[in-house]
Amino acid sequence: MDNIRVAVSGALGRMGREVCRTVLATEGMELVDAFDSRATGEDIGAVLGTGITGIIVRELTLRSLREFVPQVLVDFTTPLSVMQNIAISLEAEVRPVVGTTGITGVDLERIRELVKKSGIGAFIAPNFALGAVLLMKFAAIAARFFPQVEIIELHHDQKIDAPSGTALKTAEMIVAARLQQPEQREELLKLPGVRGGVQDGVHIHSVRLSGLVAHQEVLFGGQGQTLSLRHDSYDRNSFMPGVVLAIKKAHTLKELVYGLENILDL
């Protein structure tokens, strides 16, 4: 079987570097291109310290993406550029695997339109850590039995969007699983926003601090008891098994798939 040909957008970011290292080291995959607006003209292997690869970092354009014919473009960039990158990828007939945060419901509808027009698929996940996906699944189960829930998500201080896509996806799954909506009570808030943001009745609290990577806790309350579910990513390599799985699934997709749970046997 031929190797899956992979390009990486945002290759010099913290997640992008990890993806490049992983693809280079994974049997059955071949890194064929690396895109970033920084350090263009440098060999990605020299940047990573893995040895010269012959893969030169350059700007992502429709022309450059088509040059080495990748099958999959892995994108870990920013909310400011991701939609343009997805559009370029689909126009080039390259299936995007996207872990960039900040994709909204409106964005997803636009991506579905682009996917339908292109005739090929795309894969988007708010979180590629298998433990985080399991946490969301467990939270959806618990939501059937506990009337109250709040989400606390904690990330590094360079994350520009809040709340995280994982927290929004978790809230979405909780709301879909609930057997009934909880009662809403009037609250006296002495500080604006002290109860966090609210997504479909679920309170979400965002923390941004240096030293953190990606963490989420879901707290459930019921009669005389609480339940706490928590997942912690201490290193960005925690996301790589999920990225590898997504690449393997994505290169034959013909539709938009949103969420890693949709390609796991859960």
| Dihedral over alpha carbons 46, 49, 54, 59 (to 10 degrees) | -60
List the beta bridge partners of residue 60.
Answer: none
CB 260 within 8 A of CB 248: no
Helices (H), 105-153: 105-118, 130-142
Catalytic residues: 155, 159
CA–CA dist 202, 114 (Å, integer) = 31
Which residues 6+ apart lie within 8 Å of 109 measured at CB? none
CA–CA dist 63, 70 (Å, integer) = 12
CA–CA dist 218, 28 (Å, integer) = 37
Residue 104 is encoded by which pair of tokens?
């909204």
CA–CA dist 44, 49 (Å, integer) = 8
Residue 121 is encoded by which pair of tokens?
């698929």
Amino acid at 263: I
| Dihedral over alpha carbons 194, 199, 200, 201 (to 10 degrees) | -20
CB 197 within 8 A of CB 166: no
CA neighbor of 250 nearest in space, from 2, 54, 47, 4: 4
Residue 2 is encoded by which pair of tokens?
């031929």
